[in-house]
Amino acid sequence: MRKRGMLTALLTALLALIASAPAALAQPDATDAEVNAIAGKLMCECGAAVTVADCGESSIANGMRAIIQQQVALGKSTGEVLDHFASLYGECILAEPRKSGIGLAAWLAPFVAIVAGGAVLGGSMWAWSHRTRQTDKRTRGQEQSPANGSDQLDEYERRVEEELEKFE
């Protein structure tokens, strides 16, 4: 009787295992999520300028996913998998540049360019406004000088008179 109880328990466990198998197969593995996360950090080599995760079912993307799957199955971390692909294809395979070395320059260059451009623009505007003020001061100084103004007026009148005499 004892053997019969063990056999029943074993069959029940086996049936429960078989019943839960389709549900387990339908849900993505933790490794599938990790593969997709890593695939989202790599550019596909198919030429479509999309990540491996977004590339669809191209043979190149599928091959890259298979390599990622193998690397994850070997227990490699995300960084190690990315390093593997970078050693094969170069740093351009990464969807975003690393935040060290030359990749740091890629992260900082836009901010440096904006600050430098703002400084150049601000300095140019200051110089332009300063030059305009000095020109205004010189112009005002000439207008206020009565001797200088009357000398120019006398010269102008003399030239007009000479021109008019030529026509008479």
List pLDDT tens digits, range 44-74: 888 777 888 888 778 888 888 899 999 898 8
- Whole-number average pLDDT of the chain: 77
The CATH number of the domain holding residue 43 is 1.10.8.640
Q: Name the residue range of residue 45's domain.
A: 2-96
Q: Is residue 51 located within the same domain as residue 19? A: yes
What proportion of the chain, given as a percentage, has pLDDT over 70?
A: 69
Domain boundary pick from 39, 64, 96: 96
Q: Is residue 63 located within the same domain as residue 126? A: no
3-state secondary structure (DSSP) of residue 89: helix
Domain boundary pick from 66, 96, 126: 96
The answer to whether 46 and 76 are in contact (CB under 8 A) is: no
Question: CA 156, CA 101: separation in Å to the nearest integer?
Answer: 71
Q: Is residue 47 located within the same domain as residue 81? A: yes
Q: Is residue 75 located within the same domain as residue 18? A: yes
Q: What's the confidence (pLDDT) of residue 29?
A: 56
pTM, full prediction: 0.46
Q: Is residue 73 located within the same domain as residue 127? A: no
The tokens of 130 are what?
Answer: 């300063």
Question: Between these two residues, 78 and 26, which has the higher pLDDT value?
Answer: 78
Domain boundary pick from 96, 131, 151: 96
The tens digit of pLDDT for each residue in 84-94 reads: 888 888 887 88
Question: CA 89, CA 65: separation in Å to the nearest integer?
Answer: 15
Q: Is residue 115 located within the same domain as residue 60? A: no
Radius of gyration for the alpha carbons in the chain, expressed in angstroms and rounded: 40
Q: Is residue 54 located within the same domain as residue 125? A: no
Q: What's the confidence (pLDDT) of residue 17?
A: 62
In this model, does residue 27 exceed pLDDT 50?
no
Question: Between these two residues, 106 and 109, which has the higher pLDDT value?
Answer: 109
The tokens of 77 are what?
Answer: 């971390």
How crowded is residue 106: how many other Cβ atoms within 10 Å of its Cβ?
A: 14
The tens digit of pLDDT for each residue in 108-135 reads: 888 899 999 999 999 998 888 877 777 7
Q: What's the confidence (pLDDT) of residue 91?
A: 80
3-state secondary structure (DSSP) of residue 103: helix
How buried is 24 (Cβ within 10 angstroms: 0-12 exposed, 13-18 middle, 19+ buried)? Answer: exposed
Name the DSSP letter for residue 1: -
Name the DSSP letter for residue 28: P
Q: Is residue 129 located within the same domain as residue 91? A: no
Number of compact structural domains in the chain: 2
Q: How far is CA 61 from CA 64, 146, 160, in A?
A: 5, 85, 87
Question: CA 15, CA 20: separation in Å to the nearest integer?
Answer: 9
The tokens of 10 are what?
Answer: 């074993």
